[in-house]
């Protein structure tokens, strides 16, 4: 009997050792996406530049990842509503934010209080595009043909000319404020409630000009209703390749752009982040997708998650410096 008891004790000891060793094995990550849909939360409404970019990569991502990609609009408060929603989501890779320099650069500097930290509460996953603004004028109001002529005329008439923006503290406002500061211009800022109203103000001659996204002014430019003087990026924009950069045509060193990209909540599995980043890269390299993005005045940006995180950090500093310089804040 004692021999049997001894054997049983030995077996029990071995079983306990096996269970203990299994318990210390690293947990195996659940397969991702495992057939579950991935939701991309939009910071701005349907029809916006963010929405267009997201819709263009939606089908390719579905094909590459083998799962459904859902679009969820949570527009409002300059993208802060959507950002707050995603910051509080589970970091499982199934909820992503299509954010911008505005949501993760400008807003952090503009708003005195945000319910989230634009760096600490997010995982940068993959950039999509860089979006250039373009100095757009109504030649019936200010008849110049180059950036240098624009600067010379406005500088000779301080306070005479006004410029439109899509709202106080928006990228279009800050881009023009940056331009004015570097060129030493005194212009009157006229904020509108969104892009359509701002462009209407330019077309009607209520304001002389605007720095708006290339894609939003293309139709009016092609119709001959406005004149494009210079793009705000460091390099020319393919779809308006004859339009020089502001840097090369009157204001050396000037560069101002907005990025669009995917971010998730903090704490995402690095393997899942890398999987999504790789899928986005493949989607952006799809000829049809790239062609459509370029045709609407965008520049495709491809970076690793680490490089994109560095871009977000650098951009936050850049916008904070500009916001401090012009003294704009929003409660």
Over the stretch 97-110, which tens digit does the pLDDT of each residue have? Answer: 999 999 999 999 98
Based on DSSP, count helices (H) and strands (E) in the chain, helices before strands.
12, 10
Distance from the first to the final alpha carbon of the chain: 81
Q: What is the pLDDT of residue 28?
A: 39
Most confident listed range (192-206, 261-275, 317-331): 261-275
> How far, in Å, CA of 173 to CA of 90, rounded?
35
Q: What is the pLDDT of residue 177?
A: 93
Q: What is the pLDDT of residue 140?
A: 97
> Which residues touch 43 (CB under 8 Å, ≥6 apart)?
50, 74, 75, 79, 82, 83, 97, 98, 99, 100, 102, 103
Q: What is the pLDDT of residue 8?
A: 42
> How far, in Å, CA of 38 to CA of 283, rounded?
15
Q: Which CATH number fits the domain 38-130+258-326, given the four candidates 3.40.190.150, 3.40.50.720, 3.20.20.80, 3.40.1360.10?
A: 3.40.190.150
Q: What is the pLDDT of residue 24?
A: 39
Q: What is the pLDDT of residue 274?
A: 97
Q: What is the pLDDT of residue 7?
A: 41
What is the mean predicted confidence (pLDDT) over 140-163? 97
**25 or 31: which carries more pLDDT confidence?**
31
Note whether 38-130+258-326 and 132-240 share their fold: yes
Q: What is the pLDDT of residue 15?
A: 46
**54 or 328: which carries more pLDDT confidence?**
54
8 A C-beta contact, residue 214 and residue 231: yes
Is a pLDDT exceeding 50 seen at residue 91?
Answer: yes
| CB atoms closer than 10 angstroms to residue 211 | 29
Q: What is the pLDDT of residue 312?
A: 95
Which runs of consecutive H residues, i.e. helices, occur in 44-159?
49-65, 80-87, 101, 107-110, 147-156
What is the mean predicted confidence (pLDDT) over 317-329? 84
> How far, in Å, CA of 215 to CA of 133, rounded?
9
Q: What confidence tier does 163 reach under pLDDT thresholds 50, 70, 90?
A: very high
> How far, in Å, CA of 116 to CA of 178, rounded?
27
CB-hemisphere CA count at 13 Å for 206? 12
Cα–Cα distances in angstroms (integers) from residue 144 to residues 218, 227, 276, 321, in the given order: 19, 9, 46, 31
Q: What confidence tier does 212 reach under pLDDT thresholds 50, 70, 90?
A: very high
Q: What is the pLDDT of residue 280?
A: 98
Domain range summary for the chain, segments of one domain joined by +: 38-130+258-326, 132-240
> How far, in Å, CA of 248 to CA of 245, rounded?
5
Q: Please give the torsion angle defined by the CA atoms of residues 56, 310, 314 and 96, in that order, rounded to the nearest 10 degrees.
A: 40
In terms of pTM, does the model score above 0.85?
Answer: no
Q: What confidence tier does 325 reach under pLDDT thresholds 50, 70, 90?
A: confident
Over the stretch 271-300, which tens digit does the pLDDT of each residue have? Answer: 999 999 999 999 999 999 999 999 988 999
Round the average pLDDT of the chain to a whole number and report it: 89
Task: Classify domain 132-240 by CATH number.
Answer: 3.40.190.10
Q: What is the pLDDT of residue 58?
A: 97
Kindly write down the DSSP assignment for every residue of 238-285, as one continuous string.
Answer: GGGTTSPBTTTTTSTT---EEEEEEEEETT--HHHHHHHHHHHHHHHT
Is a pLDDT exceeding 60 seen at residue 84?
Answer: yes
């Amino acid at each position: 009997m004692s021999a049997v008891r001894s054997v049983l004790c030995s077996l029990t000891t071995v079983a306990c050792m096996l269970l203990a060793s299994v318990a210390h094995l690293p947990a195996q990550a659940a397969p991702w996406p495992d057939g579950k849909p991935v939701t991309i939360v939009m910071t701005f409404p349907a029809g916006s530049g963010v929405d267009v970019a997201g819709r263009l990569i939606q089908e390719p991502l579905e094909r590459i990842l083998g799962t459904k990609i859902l679009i969820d609009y949570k527009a409002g408060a300059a993208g802060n509503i959507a950002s707050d929603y995603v910051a509080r989501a589970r970091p499982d890779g199934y909820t992503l934010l299509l954010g911008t320099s505005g949501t993760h650069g400008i807003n952090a500097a503009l708003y005195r209080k945000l319910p989230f930290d634009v760096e600490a509460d997010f995982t940068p996953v993959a950039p999509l595009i860089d979006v250039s603004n373009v100095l757009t004028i109504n030649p019936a109001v200010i008849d110049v043909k180059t950036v240098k002529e624009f600067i010379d005329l406005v500088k000779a008439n301080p306070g005479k000319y006004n410029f439109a923006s899509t709202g106080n503290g928006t990228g279009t406002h800050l881009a023009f404020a940056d331009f004015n500061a570097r060129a030493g211009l005194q212009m009157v800022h006229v904020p509108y409630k969104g892009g359509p109203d701002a462009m209407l103000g330019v077309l009607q001659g209520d304001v002389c000009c605007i720095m708006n996204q290339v894609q939003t002014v293309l139709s009016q430019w092609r119709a001959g209703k406005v004149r494009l003087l210079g793009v705000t990026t460091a390099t020319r924009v393919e779809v308006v390749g004859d339009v020089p950069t502001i840097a090369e045509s009157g204001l050396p060193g000037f560069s101002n752009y907005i990025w669009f990209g995917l971010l998730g909540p903090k704490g995402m599995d690095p393997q899942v982040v890398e999987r999504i980043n790789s899928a986005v890269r493949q989607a952006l390299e799809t000829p049809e997708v790239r062609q459509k993005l370029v045709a609407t005045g965008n520049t495709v940006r491809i970076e690793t998650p680490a490089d994109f995180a560095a871009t977000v950090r650098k951009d936050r500093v850049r916008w904070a410096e500009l916001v401090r310089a012009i003294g704009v804040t929003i409660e």
